[in-house]
Amino acid sequence: MDALTDIADESSVAALSKIRADFPLIAGNEQVYLDNAATTQKPQAVIDALSNYYARDNANVHRAAHKLAGRATESYENSRESLRRFINAESREQIIFTAGTTESINLVAQSWGQTNLQSGDEIIITLLEHHSNIVPWQLLAQRTGATLLACNVTPEGEIDLADYHAKLSTRTKLVSVGHVSNALGTINPVAEMISAAHDKGAVVLVDGAQSVGHMAVDVQALDADFYAFSGHKMFGPTGIGVLYGKLELLNAMPPWQGGGEMIETVTIEHTTFNSLPYKFEAGTPNIADAIGLGAAVQYIESIDRSMVQQYEDNLLRLATSAIAQLPGVRVIGTSAHKSGVLSFVVDGAHPGDIGTLLDQQDVAVRVGHHCAMPLMQHLELPGTVRASFSLYNNTDDLDRFVAALTKALSFL
């Protein structure tokens, strides 16, 4: 296989071929790592940013007059600005640091949802969603009396847009949809879905966990009301993520956690709250990992993103074509619009067994329901084997993956 020949610019090919050296675990490990949809590896620049903070600038932010705190605060807020630029938010006040996509979605459910939803209202999601974009809305519906509706998916693994438009109504108060399916890799038509929801007066949250590490995202162009994503799926640290929101919504939302930093004044009888973004960042923040996430953004921005997206698309296309020719292998999710995820099943074999046989040959993939049990139930599958790609994977990885899968099939 040679995906690189599909990219004409020789200098781009050379740059991509050197990327593996930026990632210590990839460069120094014989294992083929194809579990990027779960978490990506970290470039040395991110590791250095974390180490440098703890070694040279370790202090709390915003609260002290000494130099260490000043440097820590500057780095922390510079990361916020980097993230604002990264998704083209209008202002830094719209970038809320959270523990990740899951916490971002729960923040919206607890604050905006609890304030704005009541009995008779409807929330729309889809059968493609990760549990993190299902369970918070179930809990919210139980608390408020709202109804949770899920749109169907087509046999190709795409959102059934006819069903989506049929479910939209003036009762719809919130639509929450993944930009890219973590289980199938389907790129959803979120701009169209947002526009249709706004026509009905609904607010839209986009789960961007699987998108921001693979494609350019412009929240203003999408007109998303909320956009949530995680650092660890875009070469950043674990335990850090972002919630973007439109200013009018964030300003109107009550805090969802109380404590330090999110306050302006406190008496025993009454508290007034800090301005954005700090109103939603109670307590000592995850300073080091926020700085590390800023370093991840800088790393991503140092590479031609359209080139990377084309390269990853080529890897996915080649891998899909190769395994589809193997006996008994069936690809799950055949949309023409996909990003970096190849899910498949093998006739007569449990996904867990295939994953174990691949691991014995030093090929790391994901197996199971991928935190998308409603989707697997709809597909009548116990789960799938999922190989997911990133910019440091290459055609040697694909060759080893296909060879390992071929050998695994010989044991069945």
Quick check: helix, strand or coil at residue 362? coil
Contacts 24+ apart (CB under 8 A), 70-76: 72/287, 75/291, 75/294, 76/285, 76/287, 76/290, 76/291
Residue type, 164: Y
**Same-domain status, 7 and 52:** no
User: Which of the following is catalytic: 50, 191, 364, 371?
Assistant: 371
Q: Note the pTM of the prediction, 2 decimals.
A: 0.95
Same domain, 251 and 359: no
Q: Quick one: tokens of 394?
A: 């290459």
Q: How many domains does the chain have?
A: 2
Do 203 and 72 share a domain, yes or no?
A: yes
Identify whether residues 35 and 110 lie together within a single domain: no
**Domain shared by 379 and 282, yes or no:** no
336 and 274 part of one domain: no
Write down the pLDDT at residue 29: 86
pLDDT one-digit tens code per residue, 354-400:
999 999 999 999 999 999 999 999 999 999 999 999 999 999 999 99
Residue 284 binned pLDDT confidence (cut-offs 50, 70, 90):
very high
Note the pLDDT tens digit of each residue in 266-281: 889 998 888 899 999 9
Over residues 76-103, mean pLDDT: 98
Same domain, 164 and 190: yes
Considering the domain architecture, whether residues 207 and 224 belong to the same structural domain is answered as yes
* Cα Rg of the chain (Å, integer): 22
Distance CA 409, CA 412 (A): 5
Burial of residue 298 (number of CB atoms within 10 Å: 0-12, 13-18, 19+): middle
Please state the rounded mean pLDDT for residues 272-291: 93
Secondary structure (3-state) at 376: helix
Domain residues for 397? 3-42+304-410
Whether 123 and 140 map to the same domain: the answer is yes
Q: What is the mean pLDDT of residues 17-26?
A: 92
pLDDT of residue 7: 43
Tell me the β-bridge partners of 364: 33
131 and 62 assigned to the same domain: yes
307-355 residue pLDDT tens: 999 999 999 999 999 999 999 999 999 999 999 999 999 999 999 999 9
Report the CATH number at residue 404.
3.90.1150.10
Residue where a domain stops, chosen among 301, 336, 356? 301
Q: Is 151 a catalytic residue?
A: no
pLDDT tens-digit readout, 104-142: 999 999 999 999 999 999 999 999 999 999 999 999 999
